[in-house]
Chain A
Amino acid sequence: MSEEATETAVETKQARGTGELMALAEALIFVADEPITARTIADVLEEDKASVEAALQALREEYDNRESGLQVREVAGGWQIATRTELHEYVRQFLKTRPSAKLSIAALETLAVIAYKQPVTVPEILEIRGVQSASAIKTLLEKRLIVTKGHKETVGRPMQYGTSKEFLIHFGLKDLSDLPSVEDFEDLVQ
């Protein structure tokens, strides 16, 4: 997709205004089936990343300002156009969908440990949770929320786990740094 677009962009290369950049970025975000990175948009449009990012921010503000039913947002390192949270009731009614099955407490706890401690091994998860997490790990792997991250070079070479891109998408996170820091929870506890 991007290669073809790049070729056509070569011919029409000229200074674009922010408005034009916003329109182009909006079109690309709309057709992309996954969150699209500013880098990809910049490559397709043959623009520098900084001006694309500025256009994306402006685009987001424009959607917010006119209280659109859609929002332009950052997810999993890319940009996405999606419906606004408040409108979910009617969107669901139309799509005839229900919120999908929630993860169990055990699975969520295991996922939390993996998200903050990655790459992390099963024994390390056991140490923190105080309970075997094998079935929770299986569920998380099946849902592709976590991925294996190679073996740890220690006794028994245990498998290490980390979170996936699906994890960021499922929880609506920009990237891992978008997670509140674990120290914040510490303050909360004490």
Chain B
Amino acid sequence: MQEELEQYTFDFLTETAEIVAESRDELSIRIGEFAGPLDLLLYLIRQEQANIFDIPIARITDEYLRYIRLMKSLDIAVAADFLVMAAQLIEVKSKMLLPRDPFADPEEVAEDPRQELVDRLLEYEKYKSAAQMLYEKATIEQAVFPRGKIESDENNAEISATVFDLITIFQKIVERQKEKITMEIERDEVSLADMIKRLHARILEHAELSLASFFEEFDTRRELVTAFIAVLEVVRTESVKLVQKKTFDDIILKRV
């Protein structure tokens, strides 16, 4: 008995190679198709052609653990729920191996440790059948087509206007357009090239150019940004340098 129990230690990760080798073809097809541990268990019980009310728990537990190991060896993530079931199977199996309590009332019929499992399996199987029924119904339903959508289905406003209504509306719009005061807003366009030219001219005029006074020539943000970039560009590419006589003093642009 001791030996038999040891067989069921949670040693999932070892001893897999031989199992895989012997059964990869036969088993891998079914692996991953189980909707859950109860589904796997039902499958195994059917495979063994066992009576659900008298489950050969030792054999089924063996098979169950074999599947779990195989799933692991095939790198299929084994959901925690499958491991929970494995633990429960082992628990039931060990309970079955225990001798009957000698002090227990001999009249009283001891409850079968498998009972809870059987109840769950029967309950689950009902819903498994129901799922199958839903699948069939959906398949049939997919062969039935209601009529196509019509305009008003999307709550489209109805078009009850005639061509003349449309022309009248259109004329009104044209009238309104005439009355409208148009106001154009010009956008100040200063290109970087223009700005650099302007800066050159200033530097040529004065040997030294105060940056502050150069920037004061502009009043829009756009111009200021362009002026700033122009300064950077000129300093980078040409023989012009920026000089500051002391901290916080005005910055001077100087030809070298």
Enumerate chain A interface residues (CB-CB to B < 8 A).
Answer: 30-31, 33, 71, 80-86, 88, 91, 95, 99-100, 102-103, 105-106, 108-109, 111-113, 115-116, 128-132, 170-173, 179-180, 182, 185-186, 188-190
CB interface residues, B 107-124, toward A, < 8 Å: 120, 122-124
Question: Which are the 3 A-B pairs with shortest beta-carbon distances?
Answer: A131-B36, A88-B143, A112-B130
* B75 interfacial contact with A, CB 8 Å: no
CB atoms of A102 and B135 under 8 A apart: yes
* B96 interfacial contact with A, CB 8 Å: no
CB atoms of A129 and B38 under 8 A apart: yes
Enumerate chain B interface residues (CB-CB to A < 8 A).
Answer: 33, 35-39, 79-82, 85, 120, 122-135, 137-147, 149-150, 152-153
List 10 A-B residue pairs with CB atoms under 8 Å apart, sorted by A's residue number.
A31-B150, A83-B145, A100-B142, A128-B123, A128-B127, A130-B81, A131-B82, A185-B126, A186-B126, A189-B126
Q: Which of B122, B131, B138, B149 touches A170 (beta carbons < 8 Å)?
A: B138
Q: Please report the C-alpha to C-alpha distance between residue A45 and residue B74 in the assembled complex, in whole angstroms.
A: 65
B interface, over-half SS: helix
CB atoms of B145 and A82 under 8 A apart: yes
Q: Which of A116, A170, A186 touches B141 (beta carbons < 8 Å)?
A: A170
CB atoms of A186 and B122 under 8 A apart: yes
In the complex where A106-B35, A129-B124 touch, is A171 in contact with B134 (Cβ < 8 A)? yes
Q: Please report the C-alpha to C-alpha distance between residue A173 and residue B133 in the assembled complex, in whole angstroms.
A: 12
CB atoms of A189 and B129 under 8 A apart: yes
Chain A positions within 8 Å of B153 at CB level: 33
A interface, over-half SS: helix
Chain B positions within 8 Å of A171 at CB level: 134, 137-138, 141
CB atoms of A131 and B129 under 8 A apart: no
Q: Please report the C-alpha to C-alpha distance between residue A112 and residue B125 in the assembled complex, in whole angstroms.
A: 11
- Measured CB to CB, the nearest residue on chain A to B37 is A130
Q: Please report the C-alpha to C-alpha distance between residue A120 and residue B226 in the assembled complex, in whole angstroms.
A: 67
In the complex where A112-B127, A113-B127 touch, is A95 in contact with B145 (Cβ < 8 A)? yes
- Measured CB to CB, the nearest residue on chain B to A94 is B145
CB atoms of B37 and A173 under 8 A apart: no
Q: Please report the C-alpha to C-alpha distance between residue A183 and residue B129 in the assembled complex, in whole angstroms.
A: 11
Q: Please report the C-alpha to C-alpha distance between residue A99 and residue B82 in the assembled complex, in whole angstroms.
A: 33
Q: Which of B36, B79, B142 touches A99 (beta carbons < 8 Å)?
A: B142
Q: Which of A81, A82, A109, A189 touches B35 (beta carbons < 8 Å)?
A: A109
Most chain B CB neighbours (cut-off 10 Å) among A71, A83, A84, A185: A185
Chain B positions within 8 Å of A103 at CB level: 135, 138
Q: Please report the C-alpha to C-alpha distance between residue A116 and residue B133 in the assembled complex, in whole angstroms.
A: 12
Chain B positions within 8 Å of A112 at CB level: 127-128, 130-131, 133-134
Chain A positions within 8 Å of B123 at CB level: 128
Most chain B CB neighbours (cut-off 10 Å) among A71, A116, A129: A129
- Measured CB to CB, the nearest residue on chain B to A117 is B127
CB atoms of A33 and B150 under 8 A apart: yes
CB atoms of A130 and B150 under 8 A apart: no
